[in-house]
Structure 1
Amino acid sequence: MPGAAQLAALAALRSGAGLVTLAVPASAAPYVAGRDPEILMWAWPDEDGHFAPDSWRCLEEGSRRYSVLAVGPGVGRWPGGETWLAHLLLRFPGPVVVDADALAFLGQNLDLLSRRSAPTIVTPHPREMGRLLGREETVAEAARPETARAFALAHQVYVVLKGAYSLVACPDGRLYLNPTGSSALAKGGSGDVLTGIVAGLVAQTGDVRAALLTGVWLHGRAGERAGDPVPHAPLARDVIACLPEAMAALAVEGSATRQTYFPGN
Protein backbone atom coordinates (compact mmCIF):
# COMPACT_ATOMS: atom_id res chain seq x y z
CA MET A 1 0.00 0.00 0.00
CA PRO A 2 2.40 2.71 -1.18
CA GLY A 3 -0.29 5.38 -0.82
CA ALA A 4 0.08 5.38 2.97
CA ALA A 5 3.83 5.84 2.66
CA GLN A 6 3.33 8.67 0.17
CA LEU A 7 1.04 10.48 2.60
CA ALA A 8 3.66 10.22 5.32
CA ALA A 9 6.41 11.45 3.01
CA LEU A 10 4.35 14.39 1.75
CA ALA A 11 3.41 15.36 5.32
CA ALA A 12 7.08 15.31 6.30
CA LEU A 13 7.83 17.76 3.50
CA ARG A 14 4.91 20.00 4.47
CA SER A 15 6.15 20.04 8.06
CA GLY A 16 9.35 21.66 6.84
CA ALA A 17 11.76 18.78 6.21
CA GLY A 18 14.26 19.78 3.55
CA LEU A 19 14.60 16.42 1.80
CA VAL A 20 12.45 13.29 2.05
CA THR A 21 13.28 9.91 0.52
CA LEU A 22 10.57 7.26 0.17
CA ALA A 23 11.79 3.65 0.15
CA VAL A 24 9.39 1.24 -1.57
CA PRO A 25 9.56 -2.38 -2.75
CA ALA A 26 10.83 -2.40 -6.33
CA SER A 27 7.54 -3.80 -7.62
CA ALA A 28 5.70 -0.74 -6.26
CA ALA A 29 8.10 1.77 -7.79
CA PRO A 30 6.19 2.19 -11.09
CA TYR A 31 3.07 3.20 -9.16
CA VAL A 32 4.93 5.74 -7.02
CA ALA A 33 7.37 7.31 -9.46
CA GLY A 34 6.47 10.85 -10.47
CA ARG A 35 3.29 11.18 -8.39
CA ASP A 36 4.93 13.67 -6.02
CA PRO A 37 8.04 15.00 -7.76
CA GLU A 38 9.32 16.66 -4.58
CA ILE A 39 9.77 13.24 -2.95
CA LEU A 40 12.84 11.18 -3.84
CA MET A 41 12.07 7.51 -4.48
CA TRP A 42 14.35 4.63 -3.48
CA ALA A 43 13.44 1.18 -4.81
CA TRP A 44 14.51 -1.63 -2.47
CA PRO A 45 14.66 -5.33 -3.38
CA ASP A 46 11.31 -7.02 -2.99
CA GLU A 47 9.86 -10.49 -2.67
CA ASP A 48 6.25 -11.32 -3.49
CA GLY A 49 5.32 -7.64 -3.38
CA HIS A 50 6.83 -6.81 0.00
CA PHE A 51 10.31 -5.81 1.10
CA ALA A 52 12.82 -8.64 0.67
CA PRO A 53 14.22 -10.06 3.94
CA ASP A 54 17.66 -8.55 3.34
CA SER A 55 16.49 -5.25 1.82
CA TRP A 56 17.37 -3.51 5.09
CA ARG A 57 20.97 -3.56 3.87
CA CYS A 58 20.08 -0.69 1.54
CA LEU A 59 19.58 1.57 4.55
CA GLU A 60 22.72 0.31 6.24
CA GLU A 61 24.72 1.53 3.27
CA GLY A 62 23.23 5.04 3.38
CA SER A 63 21.90 5.55 6.90
CA ARG A 64 24.28 8.41 7.73
CA ARG A 65 22.61 10.57 5.08
CA TYR A 66 19.33 10.70 7.01
CA SER A 67 18.38 12.50 10.22
CA VAL A 68 15.37 10.31 11.06
CA LEU A 69 13.70 7.10 9.90
CA ALA A 70 9.92 6.56 9.79
CA VAL A 71 8.78 2.98 9.22
CA GLY A 72 5.34 1.41 9.06
CA PRO A 73 2.89 3.25 6.79
CA GLY A 74 2.14 1.02 3.83
CA VAL A 75 4.71 -1.61 4.82
CA GLY A 76 2.23 -4.48 5.07
CA ARG A 77 2.85 -7.71 6.96
CA TRP A 78 4.70 -10.85 5.97
CA PRO A 79 6.40 -13.80 7.73
CA GLY A 80 9.81 -12.67 8.95
CA GLY A 81 8.93 -8.99 8.89
CA GLU A 82 9.85 -8.70 12.56
CA THR A 83 13.45 -9.67 11.73
CA TRP A 84 13.56 -7.12 8.91
CA LEU A 85 12.37 -4.41 11.31
CA ALA A 86 14.90 -5.48 13.94
CA HIS A 87 17.75 -4.91 11.50
CA LEU A 88 16.46 -1.43 10.70
CA LEU A 89 16.02 -0.44 14.35
CA LEU A 90 19.40 -1.73 15.46
CA ARG A 91 21.38 -0.32 12.56
CA PHE A 92 19.86 3.11 12.04
CA PRO A 93 21.84 5.53 14.24
CA GLY A 94 19.22 8.26 14.63
CA PRO A 95 15.65 8.63 15.89
CA VAL A 96 13.07 6.19 14.52
CA VAL A 97 9.30 6.66 14.29
CA VAL A 98 7.41 3.33 14.30
CA ASP A 99 3.78 3.23 13.15
CA ALA A 100 1.11 1.07 11.52
CA ASP A 101 2.16 -2.45 10.45
CA ALA A 102 5.66 -1.96 11.85
CA LEU A 103 4.04 -1.80 15.30
CA ALA A 104 2.75 -5.35 14.75
CA PHE A 105 6.30 -6.48 14.00
CA LEU A 106 7.65 -4.57 16.99
CA GLY A 107 5.11 -6.20 19.31
CA GLN A 108 6.75 -9.56 18.61
CA ASN A 109 10.09 -8.36 19.99
CA LEU A 110 9.82 -5.42 22.38
CA ASP A 111 13.31 -6.16 23.70
CA LEU A 112 14.59 -4.36 20.61
CA LEU A 113 13.67 -1.06 22.23
CA SER A 114 16.16 -1.42 25.07
CA ARG A 115 18.93 -2.16 22.57
CA ARG A 116 18.63 1.21 20.81
CA SER A 117 20.63 4.20 22.03
CA ALA A 118 18.85 6.81 19.86
CA PRO A 119 15.25 7.88 20.58
CA THR A 120 12.39 5.65 19.47
CA ILE A 121 8.87 7.01 18.95
CA VAL A 122 5.83 4.74 18.65
CA THR A 123 2.55 6.18 17.38
CA PRO A 124 -0.22 3.61 17.98
CA HIS A 125 -3.96 4.04 18.03
CA PRO A 126 -5.71 2.28 20.96
CA ARG A 127 -6.04 -1.07 19.18
CA GLU A 128 -2.38 -1.05 18.12
CA MET A 129 -1.46 -0.12 21.69
CA GLY A 130 -3.30 -3.19 22.89
CA ARG A 131 -1.34 -5.38 20.49
CA LEU A 132 1.94 -3.87 21.67
CA LEU A 133 0.92 -4.99 25.15
CA GLY A 134 0.18 -8.50 23.90
CA ARG A 135 -3.60 -8.12 23.98
CA GLU A 136 -6.18 -8.30 21.22
CA GLU A 137 -8.57 -5.85 22.85
CA THR A 138 -8.43 -2.10 22.34
CA VAL A 139 -7.06 0.00 25.19
CA ALA A 140 -10.02 1.58 26.95
CA GLU A 141 -10.40 5.35 26.80
CA ALA A 142 -10.07 5.75 30.58
CA ALA A 143 -6.88 3.67 30.58
CA ARG A 144 -5.10 5.61 27.83
CA PRO A 145 -3.09 8.03 30.02
CA GLU A 146 -1.65 5.45 32.40
CA THR A 147 -1.12 2.90 29.61
CA ALA A 148 0.89 5.35 27.50
CA ARG A 149 2.96 6.53 30.45
CA ALA A 150 3.67 3.01 31.73
CA PHE A 151 4.82 1.82 28.30
CA ALA A 152 7.06 4.86 27.80
CA LEU A 153 8.69 4.33 31.20
CA ALA A 154 9.07 0.56 30.86
CA HIS A 155 10.68 0.70 27.42
CA GLN A 156 12.27 4.17 27.54
CA VAL A 157 10.52 5.35 24.41
CA TYR A 158 8.22 8.19 23.39
CA VAL A 159 4.58 7.21 22.91
CA VAL A 160 2.03 9.14 20.87
CA LEU A 161 -1.23 7.37 21.72
CA LYS A 162 -3.72 8.59 19.15
CA GLY A 163 -7.35 9.25 19.97
CA ALA A 164 -9.95 11.99 20.29
CA TYR A 165 -7.26 13.93 22.15
CA SER A 166 -3.86 12.39 21.49
CA LEU A 167 -1.48 11.75 24.37
CA VAL A 168 2.29 12.17 24.37
CA ALA A 169 4.19 10.14 26.96
CA CYS A 170 7.93 10.67 27.48
CA PRO A 171 10.52 8.20 28.82
CA ASP A 172 11.04 10.39 31.89
CA GLY A 173 7.39 9.97 32.89
CA ARG A 174 6.03 13.28 31.63
CA LEU A 175 2.60 13.00 30.03
CA TYR A 176 0.77 15.53 27.86
CA LEU A 177 -2.75 15.76 26.44
CA ASN A 178 -3.09 17.48 23.07
CA PRO A 179 -6.04 19.92 22.91
CA THR A 180 -6.49 20.08 19.12
CA GLY A 181 -8.28 17.78 16.69
CA SER A 182 -11.63 16.96 15.15
CA SER A 183 -13.61 14.10 13.64
CA ALA A 184 -11.99 14.99 10.31
CA LEU A 185 -9.03 12.92 11.53
CA ALA A 186 -11.14 9.79 12.01
CA LYS A 187 -10.30 8.58 8.51
CA GLY A 188 -7.79 6.24 6.96
CA GLY A 189 -4.53 7.99 6.21
CA SER A 190 -4.62 10.54 9.01
CA GLY A 191 -2.28 8.44 11.13
CA ASP A 192 0.18 8.25 8.24
CA VAL A 193 0.05 12.04 8.02
CA LEU A 194 0.90 12.32 11.72
CA THR A 195 3.85 9.97 11.27
CA GLY A 196 5.22 12.20 8.53
CA ILE A 197 4.71 15.40 10.51
CA VAL A 198 6.46 13.96 13.56
CA ALA A 199 9.36 12.60 11.52
CA GLY A 200 9.79 15.90 9.70
CA LEU A 201 9.84 17.94 12.91
CA VAL A 202 12.24 15.58 14.68
CA ALA A 203 14.58 15.83 11.69
CA GLN A 204 14.54 19.63 11.88
CA THR A 205 14.84 20.20 15.61
CA GLY A 206 16.50 17.19 17.20
CA ASP A 207 14.34 17.92 20.27
CA VAL A 208 12.05 14.90 20.31
CA ARG A 209 9.68 16.04 23.07
CA ALA A 210 9.14 19.48 21.53
CA ALA A 211 8.76 17.96 18.06
CA LEU A 212 6.09 15.54 19.27
CA LEU A 213 4.12 18.18 21.15
CA THR A 214 4.27 20.50 18.17
CA GLY A 215 3.49 17.70 15.71
CA VAL A 216 0.33 16.45 17.40
CA TRP A 217 -0.86 20.04 17.87
CA LEU A 218 -0.33 20.87 14.19
CA HIS A 219 -1.95 17.61 13.08
CA GLY A 220 -5.01 18.36 15.20
CA ARG A 221 -5.29 21.98 14.14
CA ALA A 222 -4.87 21.07 10.45
CA GLY A 223 -7.67 18.54 10.93
CA GLU A 224 -9.87 21.26 12.40
CA ARG A 225 -9.17 23.57 9.46
CA ALA A 226 -9.70 20.82 6.89
CA GLY A 227 -12.99 19.86 8.53
CA ASP A 228 -14.49 23.34 8.50
CA PRO A 229 -17.40 23.47 7.78
CA VAL A 230 -18.02 19.72 7.14
CA PRO A 231 -15.89 17.55 9.46
CA HIS A 232 -16.64 14.22 7.76
CA ALA A 233 -15.75 15.37 4.23
CA PRO A 234 -11.94 15.94 4.20
CA LEU A 235 -9.38 13.42 2.98
CA ALA A 236 -5.96 12.88 4.52
CA ARG A 237 -4.43 14.97 1.74
CA ASP A 238 -6.66 17.86 2.77
CA VAL A 239 -5.16 17.72 6.25
CA ILE A 240 -1.68 17.97 4.72
CA ALA A 241 -2.79 20.93 2.63
CA CYS A 242 -3.95 22.72 5.79
CA LEU A 243 -0.61 22.36 7.58
CA PRO A 244 0.61 25.85 6.55
CA GLU A 245 -2.53 27.36 8.11
CA ALA A 246 -1.93 25.35 11.27
CA MET A 247 1.67 26.56 11.42
CA ALA A 248 0.51 30.16 11.07
CA ALA A 249 -1.97 29.62 13.90
CA LEU A 250 0.75 28.16 16.10
CA ALA A 251 2.91 31.23 15.50
CA VAL A 252 0.05 33.41 16.78
CA GLU A 253 -1.16 31.23 19.65
CA GLY A 254 2.26 30.37 21.06
CA SER A 255 4.13 27.24 22.03
CA ALA A 256 2.42 23.89 21.61
CA THR A 257 3.98 22.85 24.91
CA ARG A 258 1.07 24.64 26.59
CA GLN A 259 -0.80 21.38 26.24
CA THR A 260 -2.30 19.85 29.36
CA TYR A 261 0.50 18.40 31.45
CA PHE A 262 -0.25 15.84 34.15
CA PRO A 263 2.22 16.62 36.99
CA GLY A 264 2.85 13.70 39.27
CA ASN A 265 1.51 11.12 36.83
Structure 2
Amino acid sequence: MRGPKRSQAEIAGFRESRRIAALLGAEVRRARLRRHITQAALGRRIGVVQSRVSEIERGLGSRATLELWVAMGIALDRPLAVSLSRDISAEPADAGHLAVQELVLRLASATGRTATFELPTRPADPRLSIDVGVRDDAYRTLMVVEIWNRLDDLGAAMRRFDLKMAEASALAAARGGDAYAVAGCWVLRDTVANRGLVARYPAILQSRFHGSSVGWVGALVTGGAPPAAAGLAWATGNGSTLFPLRWSRR
Protein backbone atom coordinates (compact mmCIF):
# COMPACT_ATOMS: atom_id res chain seq x y z
CA MET A 1 0.00 0.00 0.00
CA ARG A 2 1.29 3.41 -0.91
CA GLY A 3 1.99 5.78 1.93
CA PRO A 4 0.45 9.22 2.28
CA LYS A 5 1.24 11.69 -0.47
CA ARG A 6 4.16 13.94 0.39
CA SER A 7 3.48 17.64 0.82
CA GLN A 8 5.07 20.31 -1.33
CA ALA A 9 7.24 21.32 1.62
CA GLU A 10 8.50 17.74 1.99
CA ILE A 11 9.32 17.46 -1.71
CA ALA A 12 11.07 20.83 -1.76
CA GLY A 13 12.89 19.98 1.47
CA PHE A 14 14.17 16.72 -0.01
CA ARG A 15 15.52 18.44 -3.13
CA GLU A 16 17.04 21.38 -1.27
CA SER A 17 18.69 19.18 1.36
CA ARG A 18 20.37 17.12 -1.37
CA ARG A 19 21.61 20.28 -3.08
CA ILE A 20 23.01 21.67 0.18
CA ALA A 21 24.58 18.30 1.07
CA ALA A 22 26.35 18.23 -2.31
CA LEU A 23 27.75 21.74 -1.80
CA LEU A 24 28.85 21.02 1.76
CA GLY A 25 30.33 17.67 0.80
CA ALA A 26 32.49 19.31 -1.85
CA GLU A 27 33.61 21.91 0.72
CA VAL A 28 34.52 19.14 3.18
CA ARG A 29 36.61 17.38 0.55
CA ARG A 30 38.49 20.55 -0.42
CA ALA A 31 39.15 21.46 3.21
CA ARG A 32 40.33 17.93 4.04
CA LEU A 33 42.72 17.78 1.08
CA ARG A 34 44.18 21.21 1.86
CA ARG A 35 45.00 19.94 5.34
CA HIS A 36 46.41 16.62 4.03
CA ILE A 37 44.00 14.60 6.17
CA THR A 38 42.81 11.19 5.02
CA GLN A 39 39.15 10.22 5.07
CA ALA A 40 39.93 7.61 7.71
CA ALA A 41 41.69 10.16 9.93
CA LEU A 42 38.81 12.60 9.61
CA GLY A 43 36.37 9.81 10.41
CA ARG A 44 38.24 8.99 13.61
CA ARG A 45 38.06 12.64 14.67
CA ILE A 46 34.30 12.77 14.30
CA GLY A 47 33.39 9.20 15.23
CA VAL A 48 32.42 7.67 11.88
CA VAL A 49 34.01 5.15 9.53
CA GLN A 50 35.96 6.13 6.42
CA SER A 51 33.17 5.05 4.08
CA ARG A 52 30.75 7.51 5.71
CA VAL A 53 33.18 10.37 5.14
CA SER A 54 33.44 9.28 1.51
CA GLU A 55 29.64 9.33 1.16
CA ILE A 56 29.43 12.80 2.65
CA GLU A 57 32.09 14.13 0.29
CA ARG A 58 30.14 12.67 -2.64
CA GLY A 59 27.07 14.64 -1.63
CA LEU A 60 25.25 11.85 0.21
CA GLY A 61 25.13 13.58 3.57
CA SER A 62 21.61 15.00 3.51
CA ARG A 63 20.56 12.66 6.32
CA ALA A 64 23.68 13.18 8.43
CA THR A 65 22.86 14.65 11.83
CA LEU A 66 23.43 18.30 12.54
CA GLU A 67 25.79 17.18 15.31
CA LEU A 68 27.94 15.34 12.75
CA TRP A 69 28.12 18.35 10.42
CA VAL A 70 29.11 20.59 13.32
CA ALA A 71 31.81 18.14 14.43
CA MET A 72 33.14 17.89 10.88
CA GLY A 73 33.40 21.65 10.56
CA ILE A 74 35.27 21.88 13.87
CA ALA A 75 37.63 19.05 12.88
CA LEU A 76 38.49 20.90 9.66
CA ASP A 77 38.72 24.36 11.27
CA ARG A 78 35.73 25.35 9.15
CA PRO A 79 32.92 25.77 11.73
CA LEU A 80 29.47 25.24 10.31
CA ALA A 81 27.40 28.44 10.01
CA VAL A 82 23.64 27.93 9.65
CA SER A 83 20.77 30.42 9.72
CA LEU A 84 17.24 30.77 8.41
CA SER A 85 16.86 33.23 5.57
CA ARG A 86 14.76 36.38 5.81
CA ASP A 87 11.06 35.71 6.21
CA ILE A 88 9.80 35.76 2.62
CA SER A 89 6.28 36.64 3.75
CA ALA A 90 7.36 39.50 6.01
CA GLU A 91 6.25 43.01 5.08
CA PRO A 92 8.95 45.59 4.32
CA ALA A 93 9.96 47.78 7.25
CA ASP A 94 8.24 50.74 5.58
CA ALA A 95 5.11 48.82 4.53
CA GLY A 96 2.71 51.40 5.99
CA HIS A 97 4.48 54.24 4.21
CA LEU A 98 4.59 52.28 0.95
CA ALA A 99 0.87 51.53 1.15
CA VAL A 100 0.02 55.24 1.22
CA GLN A 101 2.50 55.99 -1.56
CA GLU A 102 0.88 53.24 -3.62
CA LEU A 103 -2.53 54.80 -2.98
CA VAL A 104 -1.43 58.29 -4.06
CA LEU A 105 0.22 56.87 -7.19
CA ARG A 106 -2.92 54.92 -8.13
CA LEU A 107 -5.13 57.95 -7.57
CA ALA A 108 -2.86 60.06 -9.75
CA SER A 109 -3.03 57.51 -12.55
CA ALA A 110 -6.82 57.29 -12.23
CA THR A 111 -7.13 61.07 -12.60
CA GLY A 112 -4.88 61.21 -15.66
CA ARG A 113 -1.85 62.70 -13.98
CA THR A 114 1.81 61.74 -14.01
CA ALA A 115 3.17 60.68 -10.63
CA THR A 116 6.66 59.66 -9.58
CA PHE A 117 7.62 57.50 -6.62
CA GLU A 118 10.44 59.11 -4.60
CA LEU A 119 10.85 61.97 -7.09
CA PRO A 120 14.44 63.23 -6.83
CA THR A 121 14.59 67.01 -6.61
CA ARG A 122 18.37 67.01 -6.58
CA PRO A 123 19.81 63.84 -8.16
CA ALA A 124 23.15 64.30 -6.40
CA ASP A 125 21.41 64.13 -3.01
CA PRO A 126 18.72 61.42 -2.94
CA ARG A 127 17.79 62.39 0.63
CA LEU A 128 15.77 65.23 -0.87
CA SER A 129 13.45 63.03 -2.90
CA ILE A 130 9.72 63.72 -2.63
CA ASP A 131 7.63 60.78 -1.41
CA VAL A 132 5.29 61.20 -4.37
CA GLY A 133 5.56 63.95 -6.96
CA VAL A 134 2.32 64.46 -8.90
CA ARG A 135 2.39 66.55 -12.07
CA ASP A 136 -0.92 68.04 -13.16
CA ASP A 137 -0.58 69.43 -16.67
CA ALA A 138 -4.15 70.76 -16.74
CA TYR A 139 -3.52 73.01 -13.74
CA ARG A 140 0.22 73.32 -14.44
CA THR A 141 1.03 72.33 -10.90
CA LEU A 142 3.63 70.03 -9.37
CA MET A 143 2.21 68.56 -6.17
CA VAL A 144 4.66 67.63 -3.44
CA VAL A 145 3.00 64.87 -1.42
CA GLU A 146 4.84 63.88 1.75
CA ILE A 147 3.63 60.89 3.75
CA TRP A 148 4.17 60.39 7.46
CA ASN A 149 3.79 57.17 9.41
CA ARG A 150 4.71 59.00 12.58
CA LEU A 151 5.92 62.52 13.24
CA ASP A 152 8.63 62.27 15.88
CA ASP A 153 10.28 65.65 15.25
CA LEU A 154 7.81 68.17 13.91
CA GLY A 155 10.32 71.00 13.58
CA ALA A 156 12.81 68.89 11.61
CA ALA A 157 10.02 67.55 9.40
CA MET A 158 8.86 71.08 8.64
CA ARG A 159 12.37 72.28 7.76
CA ARG A 160 12.85 69.28 5.50
CA PHE A 161 9.53 69.98 3.82
CA ASP A 162 10.51 73.62 3.19
CA LEU A 163 13.74 72.43 1.58
CA LYS A 164 11.91 69.96 -0.63
CA MET A 165 9.41 72.63 -1.68
CA ALA A 166 12.25 74.97 -2.63
CA GLU A 167 13.96 72.20 -4.59
CA ALA A 168 10.67 71.31 -6.29
CA SER A 169 10.20 74.94 -7.34
CA ALA A 170 13.65 74.93 -8.91
CA LEU A 171 12.86 71.62 -10.61
CA ALA A 172 9.56 72.95 -11.97
CA ALA A 173 11.27 76.06 -13.34
CA ALA A 174 14.03 74.03 -14.99
CA ARG A 175 11.66 72.01 -17.18
CA GLY A 176 11.42 74.80 -19.74
CA GLY A 177 8.50 76.92 -20.81
CA ASP A 178 6.27 78.49 -18.21
CA ALA A 179 7.19 77.23 -14.76
CA TYR A 180 4.68 75.03 -12.98
CA ALA A 181 3.27 76.15 -9.67
CA VAL A 182 4.30 74.02 -6.70
CA ALA A 183 1.83 72.97 -4.01
CA GLY A 184 2.45 70.73 -1.04
CA CYS A 185 0.45 68.35 1.11
CA TRP A 186 1.25 66.14 4.07
CA VAL A 187 -0.65 62.88 4.28
CA LEU A 188 -0.64 61.51 7.82
CA ARG A 189 -1.41 57.88 8.56
CA ASP A 190 -4.36 57.68 10.90
CA THR A 191 -2.60 56.44 14.04
CA VAL A 192 -3.05 57.19 17.72
CA ALA A 193 0.36 58.90 17.78
CA ASN A 194 -0.40 61.17 14.83
CA ARG A 195 -3.87 62.06 16.12
CA GLY A 196 -2.33 62.93 19.47
CA LEU A 197 0.21 65.20 17.81
CA VAL A 198 -2.48 67.00 15.78
CA ALA A 199 -4.56 67.46 18.93
CA ARG A 200 -1.62 68.83 20.94
CA TYR A 201 -0.21 71.24 18.37
CA PRO A 202 -3.09 72.55 16.24
CA ALA A 203 -1.87 76.16 16.24
CA ILE A 204 1.58 75.17 14.99
CA LEU A 205 0.19 72.98 12.23
CA GLN A 206 -2.51 75.45 11.17
CA SER A 207 0.08 78.21 10.91
CA ARG A 208 1.86 76.26 8.18
CA PHE A 209 -0.93 74.18 6.65
CA HIS A 210 -3.84 76.51 6.00
CA GLY A 211 -4.84 74.95 2.69
CA SER A 212 -8.23 73.26 2.71
CA SER A 213 -7.95 69.61 3.71
CA VAL A 214 -11.21 68.91 1.88
CA GLY A 215 -9.75 70.65 -1.16
CA TRP A 216 -6.57 68.60 -1.02
CA VAL A 217 -8.40 65.31 -0.69
CA GLY A 218 -10.60 66.30 -3.61
CA ALA A 219 -7.57 67.25 -5.68
CA LEU A 220 -5.82 63.94 -5.03
CA VAL A 221 -8.88 61.69 -5.27
CA THR A 222 -11.00 63.26 -8.01
CA GLY A 223 -8.47 65.33 -9.93
CA GLY A 224 -9.68 68.76 -8.87
CA ALA A 225 -7.49 71.83 -8.65
CA PRO A 226 -5.00 71.57 -5.80
CA PRO A 227 -5.18 74.36 -3.22
CA ALA A 228 -2.36 76.87 -3.52
CA ALA A 229 -1.58 76.65 0.20
CA ALA A 230 -0.05 73.58 1.82
CA GLY A 231 -2.52 71.27 3.50
CA LEU A 232 -2.94 68.16 5.61
CA ALA A 233 -4.95 65.01 4.98
CA TRP A 234 -5.43 61.64 6.65
CA ALA A 235 -4.83 58.20 5.18
CA THR A 236 -6.40 55.15 6.76
CA GLY A 237 -3.98 52.93 8.66
CA ASN A 238 -3.95 50.33 5.89
CA GLY A 239 -3.35 52.98 3.22
CA SER A 240 -6.61 52.32 1.38
CA THR A 241 -8.36 55.70 1.62
CA LEU A 242 -7.66 59.42 1.96
CA PHE A 243 -10.00 61.59 4.02
CA PRO A 244 -9.96 65.20 5.27
CA LEU A 245 -8.46 66.34 8.54
CA ARG A 246 -10.98 68.28 10.59
CA TRP A 247 -9.71 70.51 13.37
CA SER A 248 -11.37 70.07 16.72
CA ARG A 249 -12.96 73.18 18.21
CA ARG A 250 -11.81 74.09 21.69
TM class, shorter-chain normalised?
under 0.3
TM-score (norm. length: structure 2) = 0.25
TM-score (norm. length: structure 1) = 0.24
Higher RCO (Cα < 8 Å, 6 or more apart): 1
- Please tell me whether Structure 1 or Structure 2 has the larger radius of gyration of its CA atoms: 2
